[in-house]
Amino acid sequence: MSDDAKKPEGAENDAAVSRRQAFVTLGVGSICAACAGAAMFGYEFLAPNVLYEPSPVVNAGKPDGYPAGSVTQDQQSAVYIVHGPEGIYAMSAVCTHLGCLTAWKPELGIIACPCHGSKFTRAGVKIEGPAPHPLPWLRAWINEDGDLLIDRSEPLGQKQFVRT
């Protein structure tokens, strides 16, 4: 008897995977990948997604640190602290045109936007350029510890000075 006669039917395909088994394996793998993806997105949906932003209230230090007639820019908080004859006031350093950070030019006595050429007075009034509005004034006050605090969250409708 030959070796072929001793083998049962289909035995020559034992080592190879049948077409049906390949499709079943591919289908089960696809379902597992889809379930893993759904579980990942479900976890992302249920996990808290909170954006922690810094406080809009900035501690600018002691008012004595701002000499009379000075304009000080705090680049971290994007505010100007100006000590004028009426007292100290704060303005936003963000240009009202496209949101660029402006710069104080002491040699010219103006605040200028380096991006598009808007110019403002030390009181925030627009002199020239494409900016549609003046620089907004911000609420400023002195706390119990004697520190100057500035609230960047809401611009003031009217000018407010802190008397020192």
Domain total of the chain: 2
The pLDDT value given to residue 75: 82
Are residue 81 and residue 115 in the same domain, yes or no?
A: yes
Are residue 20 and residue 85 in the same domain, yes or no?
A: no
Q: Is the pLDDT of residue 53 over 90?
A: no
Q: What is the mean pLDDT of residues 30-53?
A: 90
Are residue 119 and residue 133 in the same domain, yes or no?
A: yes
Are residue 123 and residue 140 in the same domain, yes or no?
A: yes
161 falls within a domain: no
Note down the domain range covering 128: 57-155
pLDDT tens digit sequence for 114-157: 888 899 998 888 898 888 989 999 998 989 888 999 998 888 87
Q: Is the pLDDT of residue 12 over 70?
A: no
Angstrom distance (rounded) from CA 146 to CA 87: 15
Are residue 20 and residue 77 in the same domain, yes or no?
A: no
CATH at residue 83: 2.102.10.10
pLDDT tens digit sequence for 79-100: 999 998 888 999 999 988 888 8
State the pTM of this model: 0.65
Are residue 102 and residue 115 in the same domain, yes or no?
A: yes
Are residue 63 and residue 46 in the same domain, yes or no?
A: no
3 falls within a domain: no
Angstrom distance (rounded) from CA 32 to CA 25: 11
Q: What is the mean pLDDT of residues 1-16?
A: 55
Are residue 35 and residue 89 in the same domain, yes or no?
A: no
The pLDDT value given to residue 63: 86
Are residue 27 and residue 101 in the same domain, yes or no?
A: no
Residue 59: how many other CB atoms lie within 10 Å: 13
Beta strands in 94-155 (DSSP E): 103-105, 110-112, 119-120, 126-128, 137-142, 148-155
Q: What is the mean pLDDT of residues 24-36?
A: 95
**Residue whose token pair is 């997604």:** 49
Note whether 160 and 140 are within 8 A (CB): yes
